[in-house]
């Protein structure tokens, strides 16, 4: 096996192989070079990455390894790179910014370390935002947001604003927001970085439960203990990837 080629690991339960048989993310020869202070800096060096439907994958790497660059390309936040990227069978390399935005809103839910909840809105209003951006009716948006917030154990907090919640509750609200459009992928960027150890485990348990329902989860972290929550680990080192199966 080439050290650049990422494949399914032995940690995936045998009974779930049928669920994850089709590639959801397929990247081929992905390369990215930045210009910094007049010099070319290579962030990614021809990565081949395949993530299949239903996998729970951790992407790990130190600062400067290329992990954040890969995250931005995975999340359709960066359109300037070499190579090809297919998401759910669609070639996304070469799409316009507007096309990427629409695809991102439909296919990917984001969970961030700092939550990114709007402080002036209630968590119900925050969670409904992606559905509103997708053009759904306000009533449908609120109903979907309520459903996922209740799923996260926030039934009694719907009318509260983010600063009226605990840090763990804010992250659960952020997960509910990520789910409101029923995305194929939840991309979680250091989702436990701002949490104490007990709350971090609760959030990881929520992500595992979500994955068991069939949602593909991609967890980006530098924390080895957090990475161990995933079934599969992709290590990014100096712009290359290897099959760091634990």
- With tokens 């990455």, the residue in question is 49
Whose CA is closest to 160, among 148, 149, 175, 144?
A: 149
Residue 222 in this model has a pLDDT that exceeds 50: yes
Quick: pLDDT tens for 85-107.
999 999 998 899 999 999 999 99
Class of domain 14-240: alpha beta
Cα(86)–Cα(24) distance, integer angstroms:
8
Question: Cβ–Cβ contacts within 10 Å for residue 187, how many?
Answer: 24
Residue 231 in this model has a pLDDT that exceeds 80: yes
The model's pTM: 0.85
Residue 243 in this model has a pLDDT that exceeds 60: no
Interval 225-242 mean pLDDT: 87
27-41, 59-73, 172-186: which is most confident:
172-186
Interval 156-169 mean pLDDT: 96
Residue 7 in this model has a pLDDT that exceeds 70: no
pLDDT band for position 238 (cuts 50, 70, 90) = confident
Residue 21 in this model has a pLDDT that exceeds 80: no
Mean confidence (pLDDT) of the chain: 87
61-65, 74-78, 130-134, 225-229: segment of lowest average pLDDT:
61-65
Residues 236 and 228 sit within 8 Å (Cβ to Cβ):
no
Phi and psi at 29, nearest 5°, equal: 55, 45
Sort 95 into a burial class: Cβ within 10 Å, 0-12 / 13-18 / 19+: middle
Q: Which residue has the higher pLDDT, 20 or 31?
A: 31
Domain ranges of the chain: 14-240
Residue 56 in this model has a pLDDT that exceeds 90: yes
- For 118-156, letters b (16+ CB in 10 Å) and e give eeeebbbbbbbbbbbeeebeeeebbebbbebbebbebee
């Amino acid at each position: 096996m080439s050290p650049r080629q990422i494949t399914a690991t032995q940690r995936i339960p045998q009974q779930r192989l049928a669920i994850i048989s089709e590639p959801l993310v397929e990247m081929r020869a992905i390369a990215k070079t930045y210009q910094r202070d007049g010099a070319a800096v290579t962030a990614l060096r021809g990565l081949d990455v395949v993530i299949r439907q239903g996998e729970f994958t951790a992407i790990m790497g130190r600062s400067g390894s290329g992990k954040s660059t890969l995250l931005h390309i995975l999340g359709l936040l960066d359109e300037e790179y070499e190579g090809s990227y297919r998401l759910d069978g669609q070639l996304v390399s070469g799409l316009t910014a507007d096309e990427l935005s629409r695809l991102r809103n439909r296919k990917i839910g984001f969970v961030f370390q700092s939550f990114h909840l709007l402080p002036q809105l209630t968590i119900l209003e925050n969670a409904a935002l992606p559905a509103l951006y997708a053009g759904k009716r306000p009533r449908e948006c609120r109903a979907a947001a309520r459903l996922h917030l209740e799923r996260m154990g926030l039934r009694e907090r719907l009318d509260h604003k983010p600063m009226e919640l605990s840090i763990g509750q804010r992250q659960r609200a952020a997960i509910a927001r990520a789910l409101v459009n029923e995305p194929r992928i939840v991309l979680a960027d250091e989702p436990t970085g701002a949490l104490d150890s007990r709350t971090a485990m609760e959030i990881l348990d929520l992500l595992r439960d979500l994955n068991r329902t069939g949602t593909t989860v991609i967890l980006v972290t530098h924390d080895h203990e957090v990475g161990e929550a995933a079934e599969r680990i992709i290590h990014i080192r100096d712009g290359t990837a290897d099959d760091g199966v634990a």
